[in-house]
Amino acid sequence: MNRNLIHSFTKDEVEAALRTMEPLSAPGPDGMPPTFFQTYWLVVGDDVTSAVLNCLNNYSMPADINHTFITLIPKVKSPEKNSEYRFISLCNVIYKLVSQVLANRLHGLLPDIISKNQSAFQAGRIITDNILMAYETLHYMKHQLETAGLHTLIEKAARDGHIRGISLCKNGPRLTHLVFADDSLLFCRASLQECDHIHIILSEYEAASSQKLNRDKTTLLFSKATPPEMQESIINMLGVPEIKQYENDSLPTRVNLVRRKLLQVDTCPNCNLAPESASYALWSCPKLDVVWFPHFAKLIEATSSLSAFAEILHSAFQDPSSIEVFANIVSLIWMSRNRAAFGEACSNLGKIPEQARSLVHEFNHLRPVHAKIPRTA
Ligand SMILES: [Zn+2]
């Protein structure tokens, strides 16, 4: 493995990388799309190859090659705020060749060194995001630590009695937070003291992690029992909007893609037997029996096969002790479904419950090692 990684880079590798590039992708500061290099390779090939190989074999890159244009792409029709843009980097072709050659070498090794749970490393993305690959790995590790940091702060506040969380059945365990990748759900009682404490925790977290909470994506959801005056005070205190219900059914299932006129066929990519709604994809597809039946028989009893996924989720929440495993199973099913949808070999579905349990276990045992959380509040 190591010998493959360290031998000198060759002209063939540069040419192979160029062939895979999208001919008309937006140019970087060199002003040339890949089609120019592909068409006039006989003329420019030797010079380009020696420039690329010089970077790769002699570890030196002229600063100009590293220059990129950063461009804002609107995410919505009429953007008004910064957060409605996504930024992309447009790199020089020589830079892209360097990173593509590196990515091609690493490509065969990736399955051995990167966990399949990291959706950032899905095939298809590797080709375009290869520049970020090393960075992503570090970022992922840092993020895991940071998430664990938030986890620790909330646990401590709950232990000290500052926030009480919610309990869905009498004497059941209290749930204070759920964290999935970059999304977090925090639960507390609708009192000014508890909300103020959540506010303090989030500020501490922001200061310690140098991550910023995206206030445009932060919302409050009140229970029906919360008096309107209290709702108003909390909304004013936290300065984020209230929503009445979390958006349902926005997953890009085939039914939804057909409805948005992006696809013509709506059958489930796993079994090809029925239209793929969210509840079908995540819950009732017969291929998923091996995942759900052994451990969630009670939950299956409590739902009908026609339930919307929101209802199934609601039932799942009745048992807070297994909700984290449930959520991870759902996420693993969706990742495996995506592999099936893109024609990749499907992982063994029967292993999903065990993987989900070990993810929850791993997360619960992850504690910040180096990160000391400074007190700021
Ligand atoms: Zn199916």
CA angle, residues 101, 105, 110, in degrees to nearest 5: 130
pLDDT given for residue 127 in this prediction: 39
Task: For residue 227, give the 3-state DSSP assignment.
Answer: coil
Tell me how far the alpha carbon of residue 354 lies from the centroid of ligand 1, in angstroms: 21
**Helices 192-209 & 228-238, crossing angle to 10 degrees?**
20
Give residue 336 CA to ligand 1 midpoint distance, Å. 12
What are phi and psi for residue 186, nearest 5 degrees? Answer: -115, 140
Instruction: Give the distance (Å) from ligand 1 centre to CA of residue 302.
Output: 21
CA neighbor of 27 nearest in space, from 102, 94, 85:
94
Structure tokens at 211: 């991550």
Check residue 136 and give left, alpha or beta (phi > 0: left; psi -120 to 50: alpha). alpha
Q: What angle do CA 287, 325, 244 make, to 5 degrees?
A: 95
C-alpha angle 357/362/364, rounded to 5°? 95
Q: Please give the distance, rounded to the nearest whole angstrom, from the Cα atom of residue 288 to the centre of ligand 1.
A: 8
pLDDT per 10-residue tile (average), the chain, 377 residues = 83 94 90 93 95 90 87 87 85 92 81 55 45 51 67 85 74 68 78 90 85 81 86 89 70 86 87 91 91 86 76 80 85 86 78 89 64 46
Ligand 1 centroid distance, CA of 209 (Å): 41
Q: Ligand 1 centroid vs 282 CA: distance in angstroms?
A: 9
CA distance 242 to 294: 39
Find the 110 Cα to ligand 1 centroid distance in Å: 29
Rounded to the nearest angstrom, the distance between the alpha carbon of 123 and the centre of ligand 1 is 22
pLDDT at position 47: 95
* Residue 340 exposure: Cα atoms within 13 Å on the Cβ side: 21
Beta bridge mates, 178: 185
DSSP state at residue 280: I
**Quick one: tokens of 142?**
């840092």
Ligand 1 centroid to Cα of residue 350, in Å, is 15
CA–CA gap between residue 138 and residue 73 (Å, rounded): 26
Q: How far is the CA of 344 from the centre of ligand 1 (A)?
A: 16
The H helix count followed by the E strand count for the chain is 17, 4
How many angstroms does the Cα of residue 271 sit away from the middle of ligand 1?
4
**pTM (global) more than 0.75:** no
pLDDT at residue 130 in the model: 43
Rounded Cα–Cα distance for residues 326 and 312 (Å): 11
CB atoms under 10 Å from CB of 322, counted, come to: 19
Task: Report whether 105 contacts 81 (CB < 8 A).
Answer: no
